Amino acid sequence: MSDGGDIAALVADLPESSHPEWIAPMLAVLTDARFSSPDWIFERKLDGVRLLVFRYGDRIRLMTRNCNEVSDTYPELVKALARQPARDFVADGEVVAFDGNLTSFSRLQGRMQITDRDKACASGIAVHLYLFDLLHLAGHDLTDLPLRRRKSLLRRALRFDDPLRFTPHRNADGEAFLERACARGWEGLIAKDATSRYSHGRSRDWLKFKCAKGQELVIGGFTEPNGDRVGFGALLLGYFEDGELRYAGKVGTGFDDAFLEGFRETLEARRRETSPFEDVVDEQAIWVRPDLVAEIGFTEWTDAGRLRHPRFLGLRQDKPAEDVIREVPDA
């Protein structure tokens, strides 16, 4: 932690700049590339909401990436920022809520709609603010500095006690770090060029490595195709729980035309009159005998027990349908 004099010394060599009313945030680009480089750092990708922190004297503003102030939604963060020794700074970060050991956007939604400070404090949903960049400090613009120096200044200028947290990073082994991140159930990683300046808008100096989730699911029905689609529209999916087939949602992407046409015949041979799902499924579907297993990739499970952004990866021949259950990653 630094006091006022120490903070001024940190940026004494930089040109002076007035406190900004707004700074457009830097955004990452999604990539399938996986790499390590001594010029890059790797941070945990958090499942929350991006926030820019503006403090000038006693005035503290929490701003979303679309320039909306949400200070009344997170009063405990404002209180923690008011205790900071630095009184003129702009920091970049992400507010999160936890479900166990994992950040949960679904849980955070319980706070996002609240605009009354008292109601926010009484919500029972604890939040934390992970800060990962420093853009302005003590009358000086830091955006032209390399990222590695900006993070060093962030660590030295602010005090990190809950609910404020410094976002740690790795300097090497990006591939191995991603593998561990995915095994832990994280969203993925953000890879950042440690030599880069802070630009405004989307930049390939920041890259998103997302964890691809997936598991086997049972096919219990299908929908008719629309428009120019052939074969079928989507497959209805489920998993077994206590001997009953639970509905997990439908998948309509990942097929080519040859599979759509050929697999329709396979589905027709398994038609049945009633739904195999224990749940009520609000779909105009054609039901089938639930003995086929598909491999499905997706981003996450919703609170309602449905797949988010599912994609068909292929059929599985090595697992009986009755053995398919919902898989939960280790914490």
Question: Residue 57 corresponds to which tokens in the numbers above?
Answer: 């004297």
Q: Between the CA of residue 243 and those of 172, 240, 250, what are the distances in Å?
A: 46, 6, 21
How would you label 138-170 residue by residue, b for 16+ Cβ within 10 Å and e otherwise? Answer: bebbbbebbbbebbebbeebbebeebbeebebb
Strand partners, 255: none
321 in Cβ contact with 246 (< 8 Å): no
**Could you give the residue ranges of the DSSP H alpha helices within 158-277?**
174-183, 257-268
**119 in active site:** no
Closest to 316 in 3D by CA, of 294, 297, 290, 289: 294
What distance in Å separates the CA atoms of residue 132 and residue 16, rounded to the nearest whole number? Answer: 23
Question: Residue 71 corresponds to which tokens in the numbers above?
Answer: 């200070």
Q: Which position has the token pair 């405004």? A: 200
Q: Between the CA of residue 167 and those of 40, 46, 278, 320, what are the distances in Å?
A: 15, 10, 44, 43
Out of 45, 210, 213, 250, which one is annotated catalytic? 45
Closest to 85 in 3D by CA, of 151, 143, 161, 16: 161
Provide the annotated active-site residues. Answer: 45
